[in-house]
């Protein structure tokens, strides 16, 4: 299927590894397509409800010094949000600042 490889059993699609690229390293992008790296500062792009808290994380909240991880589900950013503490975020709800 063009530039993608497709699993015939489940239909999962992925890009083949590029020569010289570490196969274990994955590329994590923010909501607008910018590549994220450890230590970046990101901005929340939509209000996020927080379990156990009555107040949501508001749009425009800056999160400094992120860490990219293989988290639970789609959560691939480990960070500390001011006023809320440590948590994991999805890269689809942030943009690079």
pLDDT at 14: 74
Q: Is residue 93 classed as helix, strand or coil in its secondary structure?
A: helix
pLDDT reported for residue 6? 79
Residue extents of the structural domains in the chain:
23-96
pLDDT of residue 32: 94
Global pTM reads 0.71
pLDDT of residue 24: 59
Instruction: Mention the CATH class of domain 23-96.
Output: mainly beta
Question: Quick one: pLDDT at residue 8?
Answer: 79
DSSP-derived secondary structure for 6-75: E-TTT--EEPPPPTTS-TT----B-TTSPBP-TT--EEE-S-B--TT-SSPBPTT-EE-S-EE---STTE
pLDDT beneath 50, residues of the chain = 1, 19-20
């Amino acid at each position: 299927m063009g530039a993608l490889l497709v699993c015939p059993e489940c239909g999962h699609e992925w890009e083949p590894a590029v020569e010289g690229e570490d196969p274990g390293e994955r590329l994590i992008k923010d909501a607008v397509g910018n590549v994220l790296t450890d230590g970046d500062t990101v901005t929340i792009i939509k209000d996020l409800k927080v379990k156990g808290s009555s107040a949501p994380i508001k749009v425009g909240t800056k999160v400094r010094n992120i860490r990219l991880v293989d988290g639970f589900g789609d959560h691939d950013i480990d960070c500390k949000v001011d006023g809320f503490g440590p948590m994991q975020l999805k890269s689809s709800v942030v943009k690079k600042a």
